[in-house]
Structure 1
Amino acid sequence: MAGLFGVMHAGATVVPTFPPSGKRAAERLAAVLRGCSPQAVMVDRGRTPERMPADPPVLEISGAATGEEFGCIPADPGLLQYTSGSTADPKGIMLNHANLMSNCAALTAHIGHESDRVGLTWLPPYHDMGLIGTLLFALHGGWPLVMMDPEHFVQTPARWLRAVGEFGVTITVAPAFALQLCTESISDEELAEIDLSGLRQLFCGSEPIHPDVLGRFVMRFESRGLSSTALIPCYGLAEATLFVAGKRADEQVRVDRGVVSCGVPAAGHEVFIVDPESGKPCPDGQVGEIQVRGPNVAAGYFHDSEATGVTFRAGPHRDALRTGDLGYLRDGELFVTGRISGLIVIAGRNLHPQDVEATANTCHAAVFHSVAFSVPGASGEELVVVAERRVTTGLTEVRAAITAAVTAAHGVRPRDVEFVGIGRIPRTTSGKLRRAEARRRYLAAAG
């Protein structure tokens, strides 16, 4: 936080990124450095990563900000937020101070003011959900925020929920996979130490959320004081700073056709559903591309006018953001169904990978999570499912269960079902499945 506001105090632009702790992370950092040509890289004192490039110079953060006010105007660039880069080099999204303030104001309008609000986060502080949705939001609202290292949550998920009661937390946030991880990994002994009676808002985002994940989470933790109305499925993306839509506070989660509602659009914003090909508006209930207009929408991509024109200049007024996500509106609420680029087309049938994955995830107790994608076959694209397994034996039975369930539910028989250990399916820093990377690994292993 000292580095973040120190850079802003100096009148410069912050480019948050995670330490290059592995080969792919080092490659991503190199792509970010090529993209923005920073004057310096700042790290915590004594924690300079081994893979840090020689240029630009590395500066160690040695002190806190002075608390002096500093001047900036709303149009000044505040953050250059890079995308995950799961399918290509990451793109830098230009977020000015007006975008950042708008996002905080929209979140505040959505959940209201509470004098005793206390937050908790274990999300990586260099990602939009962790940085903008928790750190900046807490600072904007003036309420305390308990920070936990992401590794501490991953090592022992119960630490997150136990801390809710220990610190009197009223608001927290997590990707959908974290709810599933807690539901299935927290023991009865750990459960007894958890108190969620004071938790009023639990924002849940990233991948489209399956209703069973929410239902099982509530069933597991309602005995520890969790209210089902505390769950707030939400939708957002870095190109819109973060927040686009969310469930209203104190309302039950709504499910329509097996899809969880992400609630109403953020205050001062408009959400449209349009046909991806024609650009014409879709009626209520019809799936199309989600487009957003409002002050949260960024100015565009850094040094990429072509991509900016395609993504940020949509709609009749040429000021709407094309999200690349599919969904529909019903009674003013947004239902997200998947990604346009993630569609699996087999023999003329359009399959959403999330639907296939939901089927695989629930067909056998040995399946923890899965990822679905298509690969070239002798007569066209064919379906592949890669599943994280909880066991190392009896996989023939599990494979048969997945094959039968997917075939029955979706009318397409998987060409292959592969197994990997828990945590081996690639994800972005916000927990979204990196399907293109999973596909690349599968094809590389197949030779």
Structure 2
Amino acid sequence: MVNVSEARSVPELLRHHASSAPDREALRYLRDTTGTDGTPLTYREVDRAAAAVARRLSRSFEAGDRLLLLHSFGPDFIVGFLACLYAGMVAVPAPLPGRYRHERRRVLSIAHDSGAVAVLTDDASSAEVGEWMREEGLDGLPLIATDWSAEEPGAFTPAADLGRETLAMLQYTSGSTGEPKGVMVTHGNLLRNVTALSRAFGLDEHTHFGGWIPHFHDMGLIGLLLPSLFLRSRCVLMSPSAFIRRPHTWLKMIDDFDVAWSAAPDFAYELCCRRVTDEQLGSLDLSRWRYAGNGSEPIHAGTITAFAERFTAAGFRAESLSPCYGLAESTVYVSGGPSARITAVDAQSLEDHRLSEAVPGRPHRSLVSCGAPADVDLRIVDPRTGDPLPDGAVGEIWLRGGSVAVGYWDNPAASAETFGAVIDKVEGRYLRTGDLGALYGGELYVTGRIKEMITVHGRNVYPQDVEQELRAAHQELAGCVGAVFALSDTGPDPVLVVSHEVRAGLGADVLEALARDMKQTVAREMGMTASCVVLLRRGTVRRTTSGKIQRDAMRKLFRDGELKPLHTHWHMPRQRAAVHGSSSAQSLAEESTV
């Protein structure tokens, strides 16, 4: 039997599964909002569909060509993705262009940067995608609907020279701190990363997978779909929109289909705590959910605790919560493991870039462990000197191993900067993640991003800590997101900006009082002065496709006066003038209270 660790390529592994277990259910797509039915596909059907589309692609394109995949929820995406790999071509997953200008521009940037020679989509999305292509001047590219049922039957043999070094896909980064870049992921990267994940959690062909994470996102594709297929298991999928509308349907799917592995970003667990009713809770049995992966965005201790307490009545076990750390540049998975560990650390020590146990009576922060590194050489390094740091010290996370990607597509300068780090007297090159963290007791604790750390009067503060304290203190912010950032070029004193969405229906007096109270919370809990508090409508805070806050984008929108806030409170008028200028008619000053 060919297993994941021995396979030379993805097609070799899947063709073996189609031969050894042709009638085993591979995928099931739930079509309705109740999650009670779905469209199943066997391993034979998946293989035949991918081969049929690959045969069609091979008539028009060459091995190594990049194909942009723009699909709505459904089996067409995975068929198109696998067809690219069968044909030796490079899959470029991306979200549908969407309604908003920044979303459409991002997909256009991916199309141009990748040099895509064609666009694959599904029948339901072809009109929408075609219109976007015409608007953006891409109508010269072929638009192909991956409707495998219309393909002629016949044999197709994947390219003989496919191997672990063959480029499989370009996974475009979330772009939380800049323009998206195409991470070059090989067949070997995919196989090695799934092997690491499966060994860390003890996953095998008897582990049922399920979830709703978008297929174009690395957590949904490489953290859910591909592990299930590679391990010859079953994956049940529901649409992201169905989850957002009715969060309990995710949990119902886990119950109905005996799902053991299902992962989601932190916000999904928080949403379930708020939106799942007692009646819905009473009908659930979550005792078979062994691994509740949590990753892709900062993991909050409060969310972990609240979810475990809320759903214990449904048989959910707290030890099933499994925080993970990963990034596209290392395929997706880096560390994690069963059972969430929450550690209280001294707040002052954290500001001084080290972890130490909390002292009674002193301020502390609760950090969530992301488990032990899996099949990777992980070092904590001083980002300024490149020197390794001892256990407990906070520094940049550097990685080396078989899951680390080749580099960025057509971007040698960025590749050298990110993938070419060197540690003195250590052979080989490391990936600089840009993330800050520490190894503490053999486990990884991620504390933030280097570029997002706020330094005010010599103090180092993580923006997500400020945002979390505010949500804990003010019910008007519950279930909303915020972006805290600093402006350091406005004078001798940095301007600390707290922007946050609020729930709908709050009057002007309530907003004014809330802004003042938030300023006091920042002073009381963080010992800092919020120069400006900006209250926003839901949906205003920019996020990546994986839910990460785009603080750099929010900083730019704020400086350009483009946020259109519900209310703005400035600590001092001169700071407002320094940021926006005294004559800016379109600035936030029009809606400010000083």
Contact preservation (8 Å) 1:361, 1:370: no
* 29, 49, 52: which one aligns with 2:107: 29
Moved more, 170-179 or 191-200: 191-200
> CA offset at residue 114 of structure 1?
4.7
Q: Which residue matches 2:330?
A: 240
Q: SS of the residue aligned with 1:426?
A: coil
TM-score by length of 2: 0.72
1:253 aligns with 2:341: yes
Q: Which residue number in structure 2 is paired with residue 5 of structure 1?
A: 82
The answer to whether the 8 Å contact 1:233/1:261 transfers is yes
Query: SS in structure 2 opposite 1:47?
Result: helix
- Residue of structure 1 in register with 2:216 after alignment: 126
Q: Is the 8 A contact 1:73 1:97 kept in 2?
A: yes
How far residue 252 of structure 1 moved from its aligned partner, in angstroms, is 4.5
Q: Secondary structure in 1 aligned to 2:169?
A: strand
Aligned to 1:17: 94
Shift of 1:348: 2.6
- Residue of structure 2 equivalent to 1:220: 310
Question: What are the within-5 Å matches in structure 2 for residues 6-405 of structure 1?
Answer: 6-22=83-99, 23-48=101-126, 49=129, 50-52=131-133, 53-63=138-148, 70=158, 71=160, 72-114=162-204, 116-247=206-337, 249=338, 251-257=339-345, 258-266=366-374, 268-316=375-423, 317-368=427-478, 369-375=481-487, 376-391=489-504, 392-393=506-507, 394-405=510-521
Q: Which residue of 1 aligns with 2:67?
A: none
Structure 1 stretch displaced more, 341-350 or 12-21: 341-350
Q: CA deviation at 1:212?
A: 0.8
CA distance in 1, matches of 2:519, 2:512: 11
| In structure 2, C-alpha distance between the alignment counterparts of 1:272 and 1:439, rounded to whole Å | 31
Retained in 2: the 8 A contact 1:390–1:422?
yes
Give 3-state SS (helix, strand or coil) of 1:142's partner.
coil
- Distance in 2, matches of 1:110 and 1:166, equals 26
Pick one of 417, 432, 437 that aligns with 2:548. 432
1:442 and 2:535 matched = no
Change (3 A) 1:200 1:67: farther
Q: Distance in 2 between matches of 1:2 and 1:298?
A: 23
Q: Give secondary structure in 2 for the equivalent of 1:119.
A: strand
Structure 1 CA distance, aligned partners of 2:204 and 2:119? Answer: 38
Quick check: which has more Rg, 1 or 2? 2
In 2, the alpha carbon distance for the partners of 1:81 and 1:188 equals 40
Given that 2:204 and 2:231 are in contact with CA atoms closer than 8 Å, whether structure 1 keeps it comes out as no
Whether the 8 Å contact between 2:399 and 2:432 is mirrored in structure 1 is yes
Between the aligned partners of 2:196 and 2:215, the Cα distance in structure 1 is 20
Is the Cα–Cα contact under 8 Å of residues 175 and 207 in structure 1 kept in the other structure? Answer: yes
**SS of the residue 2:163 aligns to:** coil
Residue 107 of structure 1 aligns to a residue whose secondary structure is helix
- Cα shift at 1:318: 4.0
Higher alpha-carbon deviation: 323-332 or 182-191: 182-191
Where structure 2 has 5 or more consecutive residues not aligned to the other structure, the ranges are 1-77, 346-365, 563-579, 581-586, 588-594
Separation (CA, whole Å) in 1 of partners of 2:445 and 2:368? 6
Q: Would you say the 8 A contact 1:157–1:182 is kept in 2?
A: yes
5+ residue gaps in structure 1? none
Amino acid paired to 1:356:
V
Q: What is the identity, as a one-letter code, of the residue corresponding to 1:6?
A: A
CA contact (8 A) 2:340 2:368 kept: no
Counterpart contact for 1:360–1:370, Cα < 8 Å? no
Name whichever structure is richer in helix by fraction: 2
> Alignment partner of 1:432: what SS?
coil
**Displacement after TM superposition at 1:54 (Å):** 1.2
Cα distance, 1:400 vs. partner?
Answer: 2.9
Distance verdict in 2 for CA 1:95–1:377, change over 3 Å: same
Q: Secondary structure at the match of 1:15?
A: strand
How far has the Cα of 1:67 moved from its partner? 8.5
Contact 2:198 2:204 survives alignment (8 Å): no
Partner-residue secondary structure (3-state), 1:300: coil
1:56 alignment partner AA: L
Shift of the 154–409 alpha-carbon distance from structure 1 to 2, 3 Å rule, reads: same
CA distance in 2, matches of 1:228, 1:347: 40
Secondary structure of the residue aligned to 1:56 is coil
In 2, Cα distance between the equivalents of 1:6 and 1:404? 56
Shift in Å, 1:82: 0.8
* Cα deviation digits, residues 147-184 of structure 1 (max 9, x gap): 11111111111111121112211110100111111111
1:411 maps to 2:519: no
User: Structure 1 CA distance, aligned partners of 2:123 and 2:340?
Assistant: 46
Change in 2 beyond 3 A, CA 1:335/1:69? farther
Which string of whole-angstrom CA distances, capped at 9 and with x for unpartnered residues, describes residues 363-406 of structure 1?
A: 11221232211135443321111222235142333323321221
Q: Name the aligned partner's letter for residue 265 of structure 1.
A: P
Tell me the amino acid that sits aligned with residue 150 of structure 1: P
Q: Which amino acid aligns with 1:26?
A: R
